[in-house]
Amino acid sequence: MAVSEVGGTNFDKFAQENSAAVVDVWAPWCGPCRMVSPIVDRLSEKYVGKVAFAKMNSDDNGEKAGALGIMSIPTLLFYKQGKLVDRIVGAYPEEVIDEHIRRLL
């Protein structure tokens, strides 16, 4: 699977171990999250070997989501060299998300 599952225990390690990473923060009840999820899956295939992708369920990882300042979902977090460099809040088209990923590279 091209997209990892992360949570409070392995989130930081995931962000730090990958030179470029995208984390999709979502919840099962969130309609816009269900729109973004397949986009993240497609982009993970497009950028295999270049960008690491993960998903974090905010319901299961509320403490970590709070520590990251997540106020609304879906939120996409963009990491470069272990540092948070960008974020998108809300459901955006694939082209917009893809542009944010290209800025990581």
- Could you tell me the pLDDT band of residue 57, with boundaries at 50, 70 and 90? very high
Give residue-wise pLDDT tens across range 70-100: 999 999 999 999 999 999 999 999 999 999 9
- Taking the C-alpha atoms of residue 6 and residue 72, their distance in angstroms, rounded to an integer, is 18
CB 77 within 8 A of CB 68: yes
Per the prediction, the chain carries an average pLDDT of 96
In degrees, rounded to 5, the angle at the alpha carbon of residue 94 between the alpha carbons of residues 70 and 83 is: 40
- Taking the C-alpha atoms of residue 1 and residue 90, their distance in angstroms, rounded to an integer, is 24
Number of CB atoms found within 10 A of residue 80's CB: 17
CB 94 within 8 A of CB 42: yes
Average pLDDT of 28-57? 97
Structural domain including 16 reads 3-104
CATH code for the domain in which residue 70 is found:
3.40.30.10
Domain count, the chain: 1
User: Which pLDDT score is estimated for 2?
Assistant: 81
pTM equals 0.96
Residues forming the active site: 30, 33
User: Does position 3 have pLDDT exceeding 60, yes or no?
Assistant: yes
